[in-house]
Amino acid sequence: MSAFDLSPPSPTQRQQLIDGLNGEERRVLLEHGTEAAFCGVFLDNKLEGVYTCRLCGLPLFRSSAKFDSGTGWPSFFQPYDDAHVKTIRDTSYGMIRTEIVCARCDSHLGHVFPDGPPPTGERHCLNSVSLGFTEHGAPLPDPLHRGGAEAGTAD
């Protein structure tokens, strides 16, 4: 069980968070869009820290689980906590894929594929625009003002 509060934001909180998004963030996070390959700000990020949900701030992936998949999107072999990412069957575009969304706010993150490196064999392929980044030792974002684990620092 996660140390983070996974209950969804209230409708008022959600609207306040959505109001802070730009058009591309809305398209990807809320409308299940995809950013162009090789364009995301986190593709080549080599800093140590934690990648968080752009909308609600939930920690999603550690930099230590990031790898260069060559696909043009930031890729990770393991979530920060399995409870932080939900999977949904995606049959759009004539394909069968597994979409990944934030377990707390249901924002679209990307897709997971079974062709990643050990130890999991998974490739979580993310849109940079779906993510925030907190450098190691800095305070994690807490846009929902929940305190608790959210008041911690990136490990």
The CA distance from 109 to 129, in Å, is 9
Of the candidates 64, 75, 86, the one whose C-alpha atom is nearest the C-alpha of residue 116 is 75
Residue located via tokens 């190691």:
136
Active-site residue among 28, 103, 125, 140? 125
Phi, psi of 20, rounded to the nearest 5 degrees = -85, 0
To the query of whether residue 39 is one of the catalytic residues in this protein, the response is no
Report how far Cα 155 is from the mean position of its chain's Cα atoms: 16
The CA distance from 149 to 133, in Å, is 17
Whether 65 contacts 74, CB under 8 Å: no
Of the candidates 18, 44, 40, the one whose C-alpha atom is nearest the C-alpha of residue 31 is 18
* 39 assigned ligand-binding residue: no
Residue ranges of the annotated binding site for Zn(2+) are 53, 56, 102, 105
Active-site positions read 125
